[in-house]
Chain A
């Protein structure tokens, strides 16, 4: 008896600890190896605990936005949950942009924020803000911890919610007195889960049967895949590829889904949407059966809605029921995990495909071959200046045989990267799709490099975007993270300039950067390596030097200043009314969008 009692006492004693200790233990028990953060008054007890342990590595950022994007890059490239730690007030408000970014791109993220002591909440204390109020619409869920004994359970639940169902960001706001208080630690296995949140992962089998039956009748089918395939995991990618090879359907993808189906695959149409390929958009427009897998009919994809794939029967697989019938009404909605549903689909196709006429898709593939013949990604090469498309092509050629991860900022360079860098595998492409956050790519690349220290990680950037989070160079140098920043420097906010040319009579209001920093000197000032290249003939050698450098590199690639990103679906137009590069004369560009279309952008 007494022996049992003392054992119990020991166990209880072992589970008694401060809130700050609970935070570290809970992170460890949820498999966290690294967190990205920035200290401040309201999180000092947690930082004190970080200092006294070695299991969890802390990466010190230079701005909390950087911490968030690093956690996103880490999460997207590993499939794990990314974790960020910020202080109260400005620390929390600086975290808002990455939280919303993660929400829109479905990235699992746990943000821990310090808060002023409970007794001061609501008193306009120093560095106080209503963090849960501010982050409520930009998280999947958030909590203000009011009792140290609930802290462990809340953190465990935070991880469960961040990674299950449609992944997303969550935030746990921890007042400073809770961090100091002593309470009981509850291990993950002992925590009751919130019963109201139970995402449904299995699709309705009757719907899947209906979908397969529809796919069998298709003469002009197209698969439209998205980031949901990547979020579902490696099995989903494998099954998607299997489905494509079994059915011989053509496949296109959103920006977020690049890499699920290899760019070198025979059925690949290229990216879809506003800057997608001609063949992908024409196939979507003319299709009779569309299978949307883990994508959400974003406005950059659909173009004019009433002309979007007007004659197709639509199948939509998505784990988030609110994505289904939100923008486009579908004929066969399947709410469930992409991987699970694809598994059933592949099984049913195997069972039912024997009697299919394999020649029934010949005409369709003939159409596609014709559209491919338009070579919608062509551009006019130059011997004098580096064309931005050429720069990406060379970067791809020189890095494709390596273990490479690509991130981007937002703008023309992002679209050129999506068009010209051939992605062969999932989780290798990190970009801000939904929110379109300039400044995302560099910190995201640092997060990727932390997760994959021996890989080649390149942030394809623009000269404007890179300046939004350039301060993280200091972080990259501090931790010896040899991230490469490949800037397509055209002196403009290229996409803004392109739209001003298309929509605003080429009045280039505030889109030219008159005082550009010397990126080579900037790299050197931070302790990195700077490389500049201005001639196409010198590009390959310069890229090789960048790859071989063991340090963080800023590569200032001077490209043609006024190149536009084509093909493009102009405002107010349908998928079959694309602006193609060879047609994109000055006159065509000037008249591409009529007055009414102009109001809508």
Chain B
């Protein structure tokens, strides 16, 4: 009768995940103290959660607060657990699931931006093409010699992905991306 059920164990139950994983962006306000990032990352690796992007910086110097932006992927149930587990860490002040918040504010998703520095090496024809494309993507030249450019570009991750892709045949040498900074639209704070 139960043959259709997943063979399971009272010892260690392994359920087949039937829910679909979603990509969410979390904003985590933490006390800027030693080890706080290790606690957050350790929680993710220790409990088997994903990190697709991670950005950390002090945002309020006086109050010793840092803001961590994490892009993660999980089922709604796992995302809820991630939030609860983060809130359990002693130095964590607040956790906001920006994707959920965006939904409740009637938006598709939060505003998400990334900065990238892209170094392109090239001579002749390619140099002109590089600059033309950089202009089309609103990328700025921040360093140049007769042999290379370093371009600074800001935008959604998908835009940067695309920019990197078009730079590849033009002599792409290295890329450095900041990871996602995000906040929600509207007059309300986090």
**Chain B residue at minimal CB-CB distance from A195:** B93
Cβ contacts under 8 Å, A117 to chain B: none
Residues of B within 8 A of A307 (CB): 2, 5, 8
Q: In the complex the two chains form, is B7's CB within 8 Å of A594's CB?
A: yes
Q: Are B34 and A572 in contact (CB under 8 A)?
A: no
- Extra contacts besides A133-B38, A196-B93 (11): CB < 8 Å: A137-B46, A141-B89, A141-B91, A194-B91, A196-B30, A299-B12, A302-B10, A303-B10, A306-B5, A322-B85, A601-B11
**From B14, B31, B81, B87, contact of A194 by CB (8 A):** B31
- Bound Cα distance from A146 to B81, whole angstroms: 33
Q: Which of B13, B39, B87, B91: most chain A CB closer than 10 A?
A: B13
In the assembled complex, 27 residue pairs joining A and B whose CB atoms fall closer than 8 Å, in A order, are A136-B38, A136-B42, A140-B90, A141-B91, A194-B90, A196-B30, A299-B12, A303-B10, A304-B9, A304-B10, A305-B13, A306-B8, A307-B5, A321-B84, A321-B87, A322-B81, A322-B88, A325-B81, A569-B10, A571-B9, A573-B10, A594-B7, A597-B9, A599-B9, A600-B14, A601-B9, A601-B12
Complex-state Cα separation, A233 to B121, whole angstroms? 69
Counting chain A CB atoms within 10 Å of each CB, the highest count among B8, B14, B38, B87 belongs to B8
Contact flags A436-478 to B (C-beta < 8 A → 1, else 0)? 0000000000000000000000000000000000000000000
Q: Which residues of B contact A569 (CB under 8 A)?
A: 10
Number of residues on chain A facing chain B (CB within 8 A): 41
Instruction: Please indicate the chain A residues that have their CB under 8 angstroms from the CB of B80 in the complex.
Output: 325
Total contacts A-B at CB 8 Å: 98
Complex Cα distance, B82 from A295, in Å, reads 20
Q: Within the assembled complex, what's the spacing in Å between the Cα atoms of A136 and B13?
A: 27
**Is residue B35 within 8 Å, beta carbon to beta carbon, of the partner chain?**
yes
Taking a contact as CB atoms under 8 Å apart, the answer to whether A572 and B87 are in contact is no
Establish whether residues B7 and A570, one from each chain, have CB atoms under 8 Å apart when the complex forms. no
A residues in contact (CB < 8 Å) with B? 132-133, 136-137, 140-142, 144, 146, 161, 194-197, 274, 299-300, 302-307, 320-322, 324-326, 329, 569-573, 594, 596-597, 599-601
**A136 touching B34, Cβ below 8 Å:** no
Q: Indicate if B92 sits at the interface (CB-CB under 8 A).
A: yes
Asked if A572 and B93 sit within 8 Å, CB to CB, the answer is: no
Closest CB of chain B to A93's CB: distance in Å? Answer: 17
Inter-chain contacts of B146 with A (CB < 8 A): none
* Contact between chains at B91 and A196 (CB < 8 Å): yes
Q: In the bound complex, how far is the Cα of B9 from the Cα of A144, in angstroms?
A: 41
Q: Please, how many angstroms separate the alpha-carbon atoms of A329 and B46 in the complex?
A: 22
Cβ contact within 8 Å between A306 and B42:
no
- Bound CA span A594–B5, Å: 14
**A600 touching B90, Cβ below 8 Å:** no
Residues of A within 8 A of B84 (CB): 321-322, 324, 326
Say if the beta carbon of B6 comes within 8 Å of chain A.
yes
For B11, the chain A residues whose CB sits under 8 A away are: 274, 299-300, 571, 600-601
CA distance A306 to B89 in the complex (A): 30
- When distances are taken between beta carbons in the complex, the residues of chain A under 8 Å from B87 are 321-322
A335 and chain B: residue at smallest CB distance:
B84
Q: Give the interface centre of B5, B7, B85, B91 by most chain A CB atoms within 10 Å.
A: B7
With A136-B38, A306-B15, A322-B81 as given contacts, are A299 and B91 in contact (CB-CB < 8 Å)? Answer: no
B10 A274 Cβ-Cβ under 8 A? yes
Contacts A136-B38, A196-B91, A302-B13; is A597 near B77 (CB within 8 Å)? no
* Complex contacts, A197 vs chain B, CB 8 Å: 90-91
Q: How far is the CB of A331 from chain B (nearest CB, A)?
A: 15
Residue from the list A195, A196, A322, A600 in contact with B9, Cβ < 8 A = A600
Asked whether A141 lies within 8 Å of B93 as measured between CB atoms, the reply is: no
Hey, which chain B residues are within 8 Å of A325, CB to CB?
77, 80-81
Q: Given the complex of chains A and B, what is the CA–CA distance between A572 and B34 in angstroms?
A: 44
Pick the contact of B10: A140, A324, A329, A570 (CB < 8 A).
Answer: A570
- Report B-chain residues with C-beta under 8 Å of the C-beta of A194: 31, 90-91
Distance (Å) between the CB of B53 and the closest chain A CB? 23
The interface residues of chain A lying within 8 Å CB-to-CB of B85 are 322
User: CB distance A305 to B38 under 8 Å?
Assistant: no
- Which residues of A are found within 8 Å of B39, using beta-carbon distances? 136
Question: For residue B45, which residue of chain A has the nearest CB?
Answer: A137
Contacts A196-B92, A321-B87, A326-B81 given: A597-B6 contact, CB under 8 Å?
A: no
CB-contacts of B15-40 with A (<8 A): 15, 30-31, 34-35, 38-39
